[in-house]
Amino acid sequence: MLEDLIQKFIQLKKHKPNHANELLDLLKREYLQGQISITEYRETYRQLNERGAESHDKTLQNS
């Protein structure tokens, strides 16, 4: 899932992400739009968090 997210980011933004937080923003948007499940969100969030991503929105983080 993380590799897919990176590829989608590159496709949308036309450049590689500079920080895991950029991927986290995309992940949140996909979840809120119903494009990914809560299970996919949580697993990918965990992976991004391990890579230094920080969420300022505690609502989704704890769901």
Asked whether residue 22 is assigned to any structural domain, the reply reads yes
User: Looking at the 3D structure of the chain, how many domains does it have?
Assistant: 1
What is the predicted pLDDT for the residue at 52? Answer: 86
Asked whether residue 63 is assigned to any structural domain, the reply reads no
- Which tens digits make up the pLDDT trace of 23-60? 999 999 999 999 999 999 999 999 999 888 887 665 45
Asked whether residue 39 is assigned to any structural domain, the reply reads yes
What is the predicted pLDDT for the residue at 60? Answer: 53
What is the predicted pLDDT for the residue at 42? Answer: 96
Alpha-helical segments (H) within 1-63: 2-13, 20-32, 38-50, 58-61
Asked whether residue 61 is assigned to any structural domain, the reply reads no
Task: Name the residue among 46, 17, 51 with its Cα closest to residue 60.
Answer: 46
Note down the domain range covering 44. 2-55
Asked whether residue 29 is assigned to any structural domain, the reply reads yes
The whole-model pTM stands at 0.81
Asked whether residue 62 is assigned to any structural domain, the reply reads no
Asked whether residue 42 is assigned to any structural domain, the reply reads yes
What is the predicted pLDDT for the residue at 58? Answer: 54
Helix (H, G, I), strand (E, B) or coil at 32: helix
What is the predicted pLDDT for the residue at 54? Answer: 82
Tokens 């897919």, residue? 4
